[in-house]
Amino acid sequence: MDQQKIETGVRLILEGIGEDLNREGLLETPARIARMYEEICGGMGEDAKEHLQKTFTVTDGGMVIERDITFYSLCEHHMLPFFGKAHIAYIPDGKVVGLSKLARTVDVFARRLQIQEQMTAQIADAIMEYLKPKGVMVVLEAEHMCMTMRGIKKPGSMTQTVALRGAFVDNVDLQRQFYETNR
């Protein structure tokens, strides 16, 4: 990541909104924001494969459900946060991953500029590609700051997105199983 460019950009924004760049409280702001982007957009330099290729063999292929994985992302239209919970279910085909690896996979795709629908699909596709389960279902529920602090200003409104792959596609029973154990 080019920290110098981020700092230059932040200075331009500060000037653009009419701020005084030499004001004490702002002196460190461009450098601080540049360091912050290293972290909150750090998923760009990561590959979900790293987290999903360490698998364990299982004989019983019951549905695995990991709920309430907290994530923070940035919408690519406003560069404002959207954040909430990810819920993931998959049906193993002989292989499972450690539950923390699903959370790390969510972070790989959350820590970059995103669209919620796309992030949902990317998580599902990565799990299909590297873990190769019989099917996967990913549900994201998130609040978008670009909808709550600006624009239509609807605090607390949640956007839900769903991605279905493999056995979950067109299988209402499996989807219901996920939702029922979700409550």
Nearer to Zn ion, 73 or 105 (CB): 73
Nearer to Zn ion, 144 or 165 (CB): 144
Among 71-79, 90-98, 154-162, 165-173, the segment contacting Zn ion (CB under 5 A): 71-79
Q: Any contact of residue 127 with Zn ion (CB under 5 A)? A: no
**Given the structure tokens 């540049």, which residue do they identify?**
34
Q: Any contact of residue 78 with Zn ion (CB under 5 A)? A: yes
Identify the CA nearest to 52 among candidates 108, 112, 114, 111.
108
Q: Whose CB is nearest to Zn ion?
A: 146
Q: Any contact of residue 77 with Zn ion (CB under 5 A)? A: yes
Q: Are strands 64-75 and 113-114 parallel, antiparallel or unpaired?
A: parallel
Backbone angles phi, psi at 75, to 5 degrees: -75, 140
Query: How many residues lie near Zn ion (CB under 5 A)?
Result: 4
- Kind and range of the H or E run holding 124: helix 116-130
Supply the DSSP symbol for 94.
S
Q: Which of 41, 51, 87, 116 is catalytic?
A: 116
CB-based contacts of 162, cutoff 8 Å, min separation 6: 120, 137, 138, 139
Examine the residue annotation and report whether 4 is marked as an active-site residue of this protein.
no
CB atoms inside a 10 Å sphere around CB 111: 21
Closest approach of Zn ion to the CB of residue 138, in Å: 20
**Identity of the residue numbered 150:** R
Q: Which of 76, 118, 129, 160 is catalytic?
A: 76
Q: Which two tokens stand for residue 164?
A: 């279905």
Q: Any contact of residue 146 with Zn ion (CB under 5 A)? A: yes
Closest approach of Zn ion to the CB of residue 52, in Å: 28
CB-based contacts of 44, cutoff 8 Å, min separation 6: 1, 111, 112
Taking the C-alpha atoms of residue 36 and residue 58, their distance in angstroms, rounded to an integer, is: 40
Nearer to Zn ion, 103 or 146 (CB): 146
Q: Any contact of residue 113 with Zn ion (CB under 5 A)? A: no
Q: Which of 15, 50, 77, 118 is catalytic?
A: 77
Q: Which residues are catalytic?
A: 75-78, 116, 144, 146
Q: Which residues bind Zn ion (CB under 5 A)?
A: 75, 77-78, 146
